[in-house]
């Protein structure tokens, strides 16, 4: 009888001779079960930060496929590494697992360059990925790719596509984020397919600071979201050490699983990374500060609805104080998002929120229902980004440690003379953040008219009705000559 993947692993030992299965966390067990115990999926894309057992899982899946996934055509298995050194490391790990497990050594033979079944029914070859021409025509039950973050083309992946005559054929890709974040690059394209969910035979398992496919990790801190095996680390200071020792762009890619900047990037990485106040997720409300708010609303089907709040310091720097989304994953009810945002706006004593033209009148009425004014900004997203660029480059903006804002800013590109996001990507988080930061600078640098009689009457009416949460701070954007009517970023 064929063993399931977890039954197989329950019979094995780890390198220290302890039982292997307790070393495999629940999220990894679920991945093995989905990927190996059946033929539903023929492609696995598994991404997470460095030091989260990605290579180990690839080797375990390869050994399981070699010994337990029988095929009339033989159990040929491959693991492809980026270079000879990495291939040697992967082969060495597989050999160590065989040597420490007599149950494997009984059936498998270790050779110099491979691990073979003693019955001649299969072999596990571990190869560097450079031989594209020699890879065409190979057939297999398992083909694993250890890190494709540096792949610029589909050549080797196309050469090793599964055999359509073998339903049990499985390709398994494990990696962290791509160096080349643009369409046409395999990892970019595959992640887009995974997020869209259009391929029923693709098992997409992704853990990054800004996004995960695992509901159990959606509400955890970004570092834990990108590193689901963090709880098993004996060195609890490891990530902080890496943050200090590595350049920011390398840390975010290796340990937060966030991609590099795409071709044609609008914003250079260094100013964005320099603007991030690492470790600061939110800045609480403070007495005496005037806050500005900008919202990027959504229909609720795919992208997030996001609210950002910012202020300006006495020396003229625009500081992001908080950025929040609707509170749940899409799909969601955007009108419930308005209710969540209303609570945050009250917390910061903001009575007017600005946003784009998307369903402007609808959301104006929804915000008004909470006693808040919603003003439609006259600036397009391109104009906002173009106006923010000199602010950022002059080091006059201070961001929060928000992976969503950071990655979306770095993902913006020039397209047709305008700044926007790539197809299939989003800019909801960075659009809200940039809008709030520019509003905050407008408050600092512009002369607003004195409070009007209309404002005083409206405020009195609010106080009489018990809506007095704004009585400590006057928001000058409620005057007729508001930012939304005056701003023209051209």
Q: What is the DSSP code string of 272-288?
A: HHHHB-TT-------TT
| Edge-to-edge strands, sheet with 318-325 | 373-376, 352-355, 292-296, 306-312, 318-325, 397-398
What lies within 8 Å, CB to CB, of 188 at 6+ separation is 178, 180, 181, 182, 259
In terms of pLDDT, which residue wins out, 198 or 310? Answer: 310
Looking at domain 5-250, its CATH architecture is: 3-Layer(aba) Sandwich (3.40)
pLDDT confidence bin for 445, thresholds 50/70/90: very low
What lies within 8 Å, CB to CB, of 413 at 6+ separation is 262, 263, 264, 265, 266, 419, 420, 421, 422
- Rounded CA separation 325/301 (Å): 14
Contact (Cβ atoms closer than 8 angstroms) between residue 384 and residue 318: no
Q: What is the pLDDT of residue 295?
A: 95
Q: Give the H or E element holding residue 483.
A: helix 483-486
Q: What is the pLDDT of residue 368?
A: 92
DSSP string, 422-453: PTT---HHHHHHHHHHHHHHHHHHSPPPPPPH
**What are 45-61's pLDDT values in tens digits?**
999 999 999 999 999 99
Least confident of 30-44, 90-104, 291-305, 337-351: 291-305
Q: What token pair was written down for 151?
A: 């792949």
The Cα-based distances of 187 to 41, 166, 183 in angstroms read 18, 25, 9
Q: What is the pLDDT of residue 453?
A: 44
Q: What is the pLDDT of residue 180?
A: 77
pLDDT at position 64 over 50: yes
Chain centre to alpha carbon of residue 395: 25
Q: What token pair was written down for 477?
A: 């954007």
Q: What is the pLDDT of residue 312?
A: 96
Mean pLDDT of 82-87: 84
The Cα-based distances of 297 to 140, 238, 349, 413 in angstroms read 48, 38, 20, 21
What lies within 8 Å, CB to CB, of 89 at 6+ separation is 55, 81
Least confident of 5-9, 107-111, 412-416, 483-487: 483-487
Mean pLDDT of 154-167: 88
What lies within 8 Å, CB to CB, of 11 at 6+ separation is 3, 103
Q: What is the pLDDT of residue 490?
A: 28
- Rounded CA separation 122/138 (Å): 13
Class of domain 264-486: alpha beta
Q: What is the pLDDT of residue 10?
A: 97
pLDDT at position 41 over 90: yes
- Rounded CA separation 395/318 (Å): 10
**What are 336-392's pLDDT values in tens digits?**
889 999 999 999 999 999 997 776 567 888 999 999 999 988 888 999 999 999 999
Domain edges within the chain = 5-250, 264-486
Percent of the chain with pLDDT over 70: 88
Global confidence as pTM: 0.67
Query: Among residues 165, 158, 170, 159, which one has the least CA distance to residue 202?
Result: 170
In terms of pLDDT, which residue wins out, 35 or 84? Answer: 35
Q: What is the pLDDT of residue 320?
A: 98
pLDDT at position 286 over 70: yes
Chain position carrying tokens 């923010």: 388
- Rounded CA separation 150/156 (Å): 12
How wide is the angle at C-alpha 469 spanned by C-alphas 465 and 470, nearest 5°?
105
- Rounded CA separation 330/299 (Å): 10
Tell me the helices (H) and strands (E) count for the chain, helix number first: 18, 17
- Rounded CA separation 398/389 (Å): 13
Mean pLDDT of 148-157: 89
pLDDT at position 434 over 70: yes
Contact (Cβ atoms closer than 8 angstroms) between residue 256 and residue 49: yes
Mean pLDDT of 449-462: 43
pLDDT at position 463 over 80: no
Name the average pLDDT for the chain: 86
Q: What is the pLDDT of residue 146?
A: 94
pLDDT confidence bin for 115, thresholds 50/70/90: very high
Q: What is the pLDDT of residue 425?
A: 78
Query: Please, is 216 exposed, middle or buried when counting C-beta atoms within 10 Å of its C-beta (0-12, 13-18, 19+)?
Result: exposed
pLDDT confidence bin for 448, thresholds 50/70/90: very low
Percent of the chain with pLDDT over 90: 58
Chain centre to alpha carbon of residue 429: 12
DSSP string, 220-249: S-HHHHH-TTGGG-S-TTHHHHHHHHS-HH
pLDDT at position 469 over 80: no
């Amino acid at each position: 009888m064929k063993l399931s993947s977890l039954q197989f692993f329950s019979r094995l030992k780890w390198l220290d001779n302890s039982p292997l299965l307790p070393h495999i966390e629940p999220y990894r067990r679920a991945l093995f079960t989905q990927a190996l115990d059946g033929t539903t999926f023929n492609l696995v894309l598994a991404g997470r930060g460095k030091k989260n057992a990605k290579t180990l899982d690839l080797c375990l899946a390869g050994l399981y496929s070699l010994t337990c996934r029988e095929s009339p055509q033989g159990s040929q298995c491959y693991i492809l590494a980026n270079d000879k050194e990495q291939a040697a490391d992967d082969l060495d790990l597989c050999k160590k697992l065989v040597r420490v497990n007599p149950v494997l050594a009984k059936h498998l033979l270790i050779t110099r360059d491979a691990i073979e079944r003693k019955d001649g029914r299969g072999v596990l070859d571990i190869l560097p990925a450079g031989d594209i021409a020699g890879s065409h025509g190979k057939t297999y039950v398992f083909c694993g790719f250890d890190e494709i973050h540096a792949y610029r083309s589909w050549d080797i992946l196309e050469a090793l596509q599964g055999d359509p005559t073998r339903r049990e054929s499985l390709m398994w890709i494990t990696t962290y984020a791509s160096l080349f974040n643009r369409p046409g690059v395999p990892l970019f394209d595959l992640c887009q397919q995974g997020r869209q969910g259009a391929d029923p035979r693709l098992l997409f398992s992704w853990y990054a600071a800004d996004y995960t496919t695992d509901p159990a990790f959606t509400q955890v801190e970004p570092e834990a979201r990108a590193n689901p095996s963090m709880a098993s680390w004996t060195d609890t200071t490891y990530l902080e050490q890496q943050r200090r020792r590595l350049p920011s762009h390398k840390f975010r890619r290796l340990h937060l699983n966030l991609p590099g900047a795409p071709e044609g990037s609008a914003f250079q990485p260094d100013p964005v990374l320099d603007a991030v106040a690492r470790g600061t997720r939110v800045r609480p409300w403070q007495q005496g500060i005037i806050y500005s708010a900008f919202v990027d609303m959504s229909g609720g089907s795919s992208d997030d609805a996001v609210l950002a709040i910012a202020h300006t310091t006495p020396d003229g720097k625009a500081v992001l104080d908080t950025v929040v989304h609707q509170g749940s994953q899409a799909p969601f009810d955007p009108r419930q998002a308005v209710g969540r945002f209303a609570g945050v706006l009250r917390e910061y004593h903001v009575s007017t929120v600005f946003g784009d033209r998307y369903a402007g009148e609808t959301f104006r009425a929804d915000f008004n229902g909470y006693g808040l004014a919603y003003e439609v900004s006259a600036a397009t997203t391109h104009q906002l980004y173009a106006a923010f660029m000199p602010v950022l480059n002059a080091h006059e903006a201070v961001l929060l440690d928000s992976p969503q804002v950071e990655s979306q800013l770095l993902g913006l590109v020039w397209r047709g003379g305008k700044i926007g996001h790539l197809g299939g990507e989003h800019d909801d988080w960075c659009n809200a953040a940039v809008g709030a930061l520019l509003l905050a600078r407008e408050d600092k640098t512009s002369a607003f008219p004195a409070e009007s009689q209309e404002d005083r009457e409206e405020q009195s009416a609010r106080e009489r009705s018990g809506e007095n949460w704004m009585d400590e701070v006057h928001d000058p954007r409620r005057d007729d000559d508001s930012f939304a009517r005056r701003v023209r970023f051209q």
